[in-house]
Chain A
């Protein structure tokens, strides 16, 4: 987080992504052996040329209806998918929270899972060791940290996942749906931590349907519709427009 504010942290250039759809399991040996049977490969264009930039320290929310390509966009930035065409450039370490605690193993303890999650996010064990106290303290799970994660409630898992993600000094946070977790108290703590993260030059790109949390943290909104950017601008304006469009669609 050394660069000055304002330089690009995420650069997405003319990105397209198409998926093969298959209703009968195109990838089974059975269909391959039965090659003489005419099979139809359906393709689905999820993203059709999306370009934008996110500056360092900016917090951008992506809104749009289900199936608009929001999650695919995030996955492309997280390098889970390879784009069909176009390029994605991210500066610094990315912490994708496509799902909080995605890498937790139920049989391992909270502490072991912190290490496991940390190394998947690209940290060295020594770095995790130096952050472990911070992570445990933030999650407020000190008394359970040596118990297997399968004994955790979903709220506890979410808290641990969030604590890991915000305490590993990532440059870019990618968040799908869950921004602040836990009860009211903990949620407020999450928001404070996010503000602190941004004040230190961290960048956030998140997908959400939750208008209150979008208004609370995002300075900018990207409205995605059918794989294209419909609008891109200040949060209040875009949310207003998005709400307006949705209600008119309902009337239609």
Chain B
């Protein structure tokens, strides 16, 4: 694996150029350009907020910020997997003609989506600032935000490992991308993005069997979603259906497990990718 990493390092300029090309091409022929990657989550969150506040009667203050804090990382996760699923197949013509480390293809997708994610986070902070100017109660920048890079790093390890798996598998079995999109859909509901892990913690079934709370958070996306929320925003009381739940403390243990899982997936994904990458061009 080390020799492969060295080889990848030697090709870093190609990776950088591929990322640049990807960013340039994606919005080259659209009028709003990069704005599209911000408009999509913003529109979603506006609709969600309306539904939750007025139809579901969720009275949690500043709800849209809490949804956005978990939804933006999820978008990053989802787009990385969907884009990299096709990446090797799309790059196969080039790969058949010339040698380069094949992992550059999925990595290009991960890095260009990471850049979109970072820009979306900037917009998120702008959004918090606007809310602060309207209601000067919720302070936009928390001291805990210094941990944000750590979370992004764990998230990046997880999504890179999975992207390597998915892109390699999808090259041989094109059903994989459909399976992935179904799993992503399920994952979205199985993670505290549109709701809070406080609600999960206080659910009657979970109260009876506290192990469920632990099992639920073995899903790295669930743990990361809550961690992003806690790092980016102040702890809040969750008020829904007339019930008020106090904020949960930061789950260090769960985040520790997620970190280990993410890096194991990263190493496993890279090892798997390297084992099969020579077969890509021989795909019948």
Q: Is the CB of A32 within 8 A of B25?
A: no
Q: Is the CB of A78 within 8 A of B282?
A: no
Which chain B residues border A65 with CB–CB below 8 Å? none
Interface hits, B67-108 → A, CB 8 Å: 93-100
Interface hits, A34-72 → B, CB 8 Å: none
Shortest CB-to-CB span from B272 to chain A, Å, is 16
Q: Nearest CB to that of A148 among chain B residues?
A: B28
Cα-based distance from A91 to B10 in the complex (angstroms): 17
Q: Which of B10, B17, B98 contacts A80 (CB 8 A)?
A: B98
Interface segment, one of B35-43, B122-130, B132-140, B168-176: B168-176
Interface hits, A67-125 → B, CB 8 Å: 75, 78-82, 94, 96, 98-99, 102-103, 105, 107-108, 112, 115-116, 119-125
Q: Is the CB of A119 within 8 A of B13?
A: yes
Which chain B residues border A122 with CB–CB below 8 Å? 10-11, 14
Q: Is the CB of A27 within 8 A of B97?
A: no
Which chain A residues border B204 with CB–CB below 8 Å? none
Q: Is the CB of A81 within 8 A of B282?
A: yes
Q: Does A29 contact B (CB under 8 A)?
A: yes
Q: Which of A22, A28, A102, A119 contacts B17 (CB 8 A)?
A: A119
Which chain B residues border A82 with CB–CB below 8 Å? 278
Q: Is the CB of B98 within 8 A of A20?
A: no
Interface residue count for B (Cβ, 8 Å)?
A: 29
Q: Does A19 contact B (CB under 8 A)?
A: yes
Q: Nearest CB to that of A102 among chain B residues?
A: B97
Q: Is the CB of B94 within 8 A of A28?
A: no
Q: Which of B13, B21, B98 contacts A78 (CB 8 A)?
A: B98
Q: Is the CB of B13 within 8 A of A102?
A: no
Q: Is the CB of A27 within 8 A of B283?
A: yes
Cα-based distance from A29 to B177 in the complex (angstroms): 12
A-B contact pairs, 15 of them (CB 8 A): A19-B282, A22-B284, A25-B284, A27-B284, A28-B175, A29-B173, A80-B96, A80-B281, A82-B278, A94-B99, A96-B97, A98-B98, A107-B29, A120-B94, A120-B98
Contacts A25-B284, A75-B96, A107-B25 given; 12 further ones with Cβ under 8 A? A20-B284, A27-B172, A28-B173, A29-B175, A78-B98, A79-B99, A81-B281, A96-B98, A99-B97, A105-B25, A119-B17, A125-B17
